[in-house]
Structure 1
Amino acid sequence: MTCLFVTASFYYFMQLLRKKYLSKLCAIYYVLFTTAFLWTSYLAWFVLLAQGVYVLWKKRYDILAFQAIAGLTLLAWLPSFLTSLGIGHSTLSGSPEWGRVVGGLTWKSLPLTWIKFNLGRIGFDNKMFYGVLVAGVGLLHLAILRTVPYKKYLILLIWLIPPIFLGLITASILPIYSYFRVLFVLPAYLLLLALGSTKLSKIVIGLNILFLVIFWLSPRYHREDWRSLVSNLPANIALAMPSRAQSAPLFYYSRGQDIIEPSHDLIVGNPIYYIRYVEDIFDVRRVGAAKLQESGYTITNQLSYPGIAVDIYTK
């Protein structure tokens, strides 16, 4: 959703930049879509900052007024933002591992972003093959990007680069950065590739389409397959998770029942399906699994779905 809003915002931003006299309709759409992305992602705030600097450089102060209108709407969100910030700091101090998992800054952050922009979430068990594929596609993209007349398309660089680097800098203080959180800059990267790909052969274009089809149709590349998990759960079972706060996907797919937190709750039911989702964040010491064993339960089976592991305990 953020990607859609940012793309629409940049479209109307470019329309306003091209015209000496402002179009009221373009201005309204620009404010609406800019406001929308500001309210859907913290990292997208850097997009407005980049647009503002660009407008100042171009001396288009008329557009700056519309940016101010969109930015000022965040004042209504300020109390919630401060609350979220406090919760984040509290969670980080209580569980440092949480920061690493959700978006801490590491040496891999920037390279991983570029790799995922090139290949998506596609992966292979054979690491050597995956490395060769990453290198091959990366070199191809670099060759394509070398042909782009960047001076003519500076606006795309404004869209692509500042949000990533500002996000990385912020992640050194707050764990907010991950490649999937900056997908709103991906259209700019793809547009640059498209501009440099006008002379590519049909074979290369066909291979790109093939990789996209494989990615879209293969469940193993989906982030978390909650739909399959819920559809395969038997009726008369107890469900447990390291944190009940992470049970929203179960309710979304119509699995509305009480969730046990083994580390805190009274453990009842047989069998118990223990969904070990984000266990590294909310139960680093594996207290939940230990409590299940202390209560006389043993693991009799294990299930695995993309991004989700399930242990089946019986008594």
Structure 2
Amino acid sequence: MKLLLILTSGLILRLIGLNQSFWLDEAAQVIESSRPFLQQFNLAADFHPPLYHLLLHFWLKGGSSEIWVRLLSVMLGVGSLVYIYRLARIRLNQYLSLAVTLLLAVSAYHVYYSQEARPYILFSLLVLVSTYYLMKKNYTAFAVSLIACWYTSYFTLFLLFGQGLVVYFQEKKDIKKFITAFFVSLLFFLPWLPEVKRQLDVGFGGSFTGWQEVVSFGSFRNLGLTFARFSLGRLNPDNNFLYLLLVSPLAVFALWSLYESVVKRKFTEYAILFWGPFTLAILISFFLPVVAPQRLLFLLPFLYLSIVSHLGGVKVVLYLLIFISLASLAVYYYNPLFQRENWRAAVSYVDQTKTESLAVFAFPEPFAPYQLYARYTPAIGAAVNFRVEDDDLARLSANLSGKQKVYLFDYLRELTDPEKKLELEIEAAGFRESSVNNFEGVGFVRTYEKQL
């Protein structure tokens, strides 16, 4: 009954605000997953394997509204609650198992990505499934779940590092079974390797200056930001003292539980499963800028398991973590600043015009959310090579012919048009800025009207 209550509460928390606008990555995901079946394997521009794309492809047969699309992730998020409980029960008593399940149920960060139409929550679930079967020593099921992990996220490599350490230090007699399962899973992943190479060629092909800073973060920043995200979700308080005050408990409890694991040599598997992959990811990020907190979401359950296994009996620890999570969720639910980019409102504003108009983006093509939401106002991308050049300006000038209004989106324009060439070209064509509207996450949309 208590588990059912926690699962129900977790479900409700993940349903609140599910109708937010799709943001950039989600809209791109929906567009990609809407393509014909065979095209789901053409993912050169998206650094992810195809499993989530395939699941969403079939899920979209039931509809494409924000709520329906995200319900898939909600179900996966609730499934994670089931499996963290099952995993905990292998070593912990019922009270501690329920406690760790409750922590994950109310986690602001886990809730956020249980509402996101992206692969992160699927990977988080599969990681728990694979670790569950590893702990149960069911190596056939472990190998199958590993295959699913490989086809969901390349961060399976970090997971295997942690799992391998656990087997080596605690179950050496099973090391051959673990290695066999690993190679079996890798064998099934081999057909995807050519696509991995294509993705790497695209991802590190120097698309444009500053993009890596957008999709990833510096190594040392990753260290602190991951704990901040795990503690507060997407919240980012302006007051640095308050920020530190709210993040410190999780970091302190994490280090405390690590110390307890080393000194008492109890429940060390949980500490290894978190700190092993986490440390490796931070080290790798010095050389490959691919690490970001959302890609480490799969480690959050292990962090909670490590803390609860050592400190779960200290109720003030649980109460404090739950309070911080619920407070963070409340702010997330009621403050649009911490929600997703409001492209739906921005596109609706542009689409309401009754005159000949054009939307302009400083990108090779209109951003995915605009393509998804726009119904009436045509749009062009005015930075074919990720930098506004003379050919782009000439093409823009030709497209302005006969238009009465132009909507210039500032979204990511500081990367592709730092010299503000687009607005100068628009003004040179006889348009004058009449208004500027700000939409949460999207930024400024500048309206220009033709001067008679």
- Identify the TM-score tier after normalising by the shorter chain: 0.7 to 0.9
Contact 1:113-1:179 within 8 A present in 2 as well:
yes
1:44–1:184: 8 Å Cα contact kept in structure 2?
A: no
1:179 matches 2:293: yes
Residue of 149, 160, 164 corresponding to 1:48: 160
> Which residue matches 2:327?
210
- Partner residue, 2:427: 293
SS of corresponding position for 1:274: strand
**Does the alignment pair 1:311 with 2:446?**
yes
Q: Write the mapping of 1:246-265 to structure 2, written as runs, cut at 5 A.
A: 247-253=367-373, 255=375, 258-262=378-382, 263=388, 264=392, 265=395
Distance (Å, rounded) in 1 between the aligned partners of 2:312 and 2:345: 38
Aligned to 1:4: 122
**Amino acid of the residue matched to residue 211 of structure 1?**
S
Of 226-235 and 197-206, deviating more is: 197-206
> Partner letter of residue 209 of structure 2?
P
Q: Which residue matches 1:219?
A: 336
Q: How does 1:92-241 map to 2 (within 5 A)?
A: 95-124=208-237, 127=238, 130-145=239-254, 146=256, 149-150=260-261, 151-195=265-309, 196-201=311-316, 204=320, 205-236=322-353, 237-241=357-361
Q: Distance in 1 between matches of 2:378 and 2:426?
A: 17
Q: Aligned partners of 2:149, 2:414: CA distance in 1, in Å?
A: 30
C-alpha distance 248-184 of structure 1, shift in aligned 2 (>3 A):
same
User: Sequence identity of aligned pairs in percent?
Assistant: 22
Question: Which residue type is aligned with residue 5 of structure 1?
Answer: F
Cα 1:244/1:10, change in 2 over 3 Å: same
User: How far apart in 1 are the matches of 2:241 and 2:307?
Assistant: 21
Change in Cα spacing, 1:154 to 1:147, as seen in structure 2 (3 Å) is closer
Task: Output the CA distance in 2 between the equivalents of 1:167 and 1:246.
Answer: 33
Residues in 2 aligned to 1:161 and 1:312: alpha-carbon distance in whole angstroms:
50
Q: d(CA) in 1 for partners of 2:431 and 2:333?
A: 39
Q: 1:219 to 1:79 in 2, by over 3 A?
A: same
Sort the Cα spacing of 1:55 and 1:207 in 2 relative to 1 into closer, same or farther, 3 A. Answer: closer
Distance 1:144 1:68 in 2: 36
Could you tell me how far apart the structure 2 residues matched to 1:157 and 1:210 are?
27
Number of aligned pairs?
A: 303
Q: Is the 8 A contact 1:272 1:313 kept in 2?
A: yes
Per mean C-alpha deviation after superposition, the further-off stretch among 198-207 and 186-195 is: 198-207
Task: Report the AA paired with residue 80 of structure 1.
Answer: E
Extract structure 1 runs of 4+ deviating beyond 6 A.
none
**Taking structure 1 as reference, are residues 207 and 283 closer, same or farther at Cα in structure 2, changes over 3 Å only?**
same
1:271 pairs with one of 391, 405, 414: 405
Amino acid at match of 1:190: Y
Pick which of 202-211 and 170-179 moved more.
202-211
Cα distance in 2 between the residues matched to 1:142 and 1:106: 17
Aligned CA-pair RMSD: 3.0
Structure 1: give runs of 5+ residues left out of the alignment.
none
Q: What is the CA distance between 1:221 and its match in structure 2?
A: 0.6
Aligned 8 A contact 1:6 1:34 in 2: no
Residue 63 of structure 1: aligned partner = 178
Deviation at 1:193, TM superposition (A): 4.1
CA–CA distance in 2 between the matches of 1:48 and 1:226? 38
- Displacement of 1:144 after TM fit? 3.3
Shift in Å, 1:5: 2.8
With 114-123 and 276-285 compared, the bigger mean Cα shift is at: 276-285
Query: In 2, are the aligned partners of 1:3 and 1:185 still within 8 Å (CA)?
Result: no
The 1-side partners of 2:338 and 2:432 are apart by 31
- Aligned mates of 2:147, 2:274 — CA distance in 1: 19
Deviations 1:178-225 (A, max 9, x none): 222222222222333444344334863445323223223432112422
Q: Quickly say closer, same or farther: Cα 1:279–1:48, change in 2 above 3 A.
A: farther
Relative to structure 1, is the Cα distance of residues 101 and 9 closer, same or farther in structure 2, using a 3 angstrom cutoff? closer
Distance 1:213 1:298, change over 3 A: same
Is the alpha carbon distance of 1:157 and 1:72 closer, same or farther for their aligned partners in structure 2, counting shifts above 3 Å? Answer: farther
Is 1:15 matched with 2:133?
yes
Deviations 1:85-124 (A, max 9, x none): 12223225xx332222222535423222222222121123
